[in-house]
């Protein structure tokens, strides 16, 4: 079913090229239909890329989906113009009186900061508090999953010895959950982060359960028992080439990143200099 977007939004053309049904707001207003209303707090650096990734997934709904992108007024964005944000994104103050079926809060490259050191922490906390009464269900992705667990349940994150990057094998721990219905017992998913959460901290916290986890990457899907708060400690929205783009970005900065695990095929540190960001080697999602 269609995704409802502003007619001039740049991502619209890319979605139509992928044969994803996108409907303008003007046309949608003439349909007598109950829309699924989703708000997205997009904190990822590459706004249009994240928009495209999330909208692809939301288009799989059998309902008409109206998407509202939110920006944080307390944050200075570096990779997108203010004109773009003002044109296609709402502020929290503009929507706080409304109700939404769902809210998605994306990850952000701020894992190594304490939560209170993040410049928009107070504003994001206000949104998470607002979501308790105004959103049916909120999904927190990657850093936002850790931030949400901290805000709602006081669960602390911890620093990893090195960046966790790659494709990891996960298994279901709550086979009868409505949220994971249709999942395989084991499935692969991408991670890209410097911090994590301890499963033991979740086990001793009332009101939440681990629905899926990885022996290497730790808890993956955590949910409140009522399903109103969902925490996905990874990046299920990533495209097949996103980890490669991140790898080459960091390599070009001289960071010397580890090669994403279970991702590139037949590639070593010694051979990586023979490739460029425009010529990405074949990658594999096979675990083992």
pLDDT category at 281 given cuts 50, 70, 90 is: very low
Whole-number average pLDDT of the chain: 86
Q: Between residues 77 and 128, which one has the greater pLDDT?
A: 128
- The pLDDT assigned to 193 comes to 95
Can you tell me the distance from the alpha carbon of 3 to that of 58, in angstroms, rounded to the nearest whole number?
A: 8
* DSSP secondary structure, 80-145, as one string: S-HHHHHHHEEEHHHHTTS-EEEEEE---S-TTS-GGGSTTHHHHHHHHHHHHHHEEEEEEETHHH
First-residue to last-residue Cα distance in the chain: 37
pLDDT(136) > 70: yes
pLDDT in tens, 166-199: 999 999 998 788 889 889 999 999 999 999 999 9
| Distance from C-alpha of 250 to C-alpha of 239, rounded to nearest angstrom | 18
* Segment 141-171, tens digit of pLDDT: 999 999 999 999 999 999 999 999 999 999 9
User: What's the pLDDT score for residue 242?
Assistant: 93
For residue 90, which of 148, 37, 133 has the smallest C-alpha distance? 37
pLDDT in tens, 219-274: 999 999 999 999 999 999 999 999 999 999 889 988 888 899 999 874 445 444 44
* pLDDT for 288 beyond 50: no
Rounded Cα distance between 71 and 43, Å, is 8
Q: With 50 as the cut, is the pLDDT of residue 2 above it? A: yes
Q: What is the pLDDT of residue 215?
A: 96
Q: What is the pLDDT of residue 59?
A: 84
This prediction's pTM: 0.83
Please list the active-site residues: 142, 235, 237
Share of the chain above pLDDT 70, in %: 82
Cα separation, 34 vs 97, in Å, equals 19
């Amino acid at each position: 079913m269609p995704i409802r977007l502003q007619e001039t939004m740049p991502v619209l053309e890319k979605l139509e090229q992928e044969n994803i049904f996108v409907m303008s707001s003007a046309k949608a207003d003439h349909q007598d239909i109950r829309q699924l209303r989703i708000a997205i707090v997009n904190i990822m650096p590459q706004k249009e890329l994240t928009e495209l990734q999330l909208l692809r997934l939301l288009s799989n709904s059998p309902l008409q989906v109206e998407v509202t992108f939110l920006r944080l007024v307390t944050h200075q964005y570096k990779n997108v113009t203010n004109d773009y944000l003002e044109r296609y994104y709402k502020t929290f103050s503009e929507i706080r009186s409304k109700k939404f079926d769902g809210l998605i809060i994306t990850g952000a490259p701020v894992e190594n900061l304490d939560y209170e050191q993040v410049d928009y922490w107070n504003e994001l906390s206000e949104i998470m508090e607002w979501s308790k009464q105004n959103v049916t269900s909120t999904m927190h992705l990657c850093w936002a999953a850790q931030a949400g667990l901290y805000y709602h349940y006081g669960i602390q994150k911890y620093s990893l010895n090195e960046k966790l990057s790659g494709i990891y094998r996960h298994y279901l721990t709550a086979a009868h959950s409505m949220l994971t219905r249709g999942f395989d017992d084991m499935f692969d998913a991408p991670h890209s982060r410097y911090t994590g959460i301890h499963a033991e901290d979740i086990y001793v916290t009332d009101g939440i359960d681990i629905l899926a986890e990885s022996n290497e990457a730790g808890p993956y899907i955590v949910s409140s028992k009522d399903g109103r708060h969902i925490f996905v400690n990874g990046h299920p929205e990533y495209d097949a080439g996103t980890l490669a783009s991140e790898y080459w970005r960091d390599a070009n900065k001289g960071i010397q990143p580890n090669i994403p695990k279970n991702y590139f095929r037949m590639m070593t540190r010694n051979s990586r200099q023979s490739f460029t960001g425009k010529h990405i080697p074949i990658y594999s999602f096979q675990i083992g």
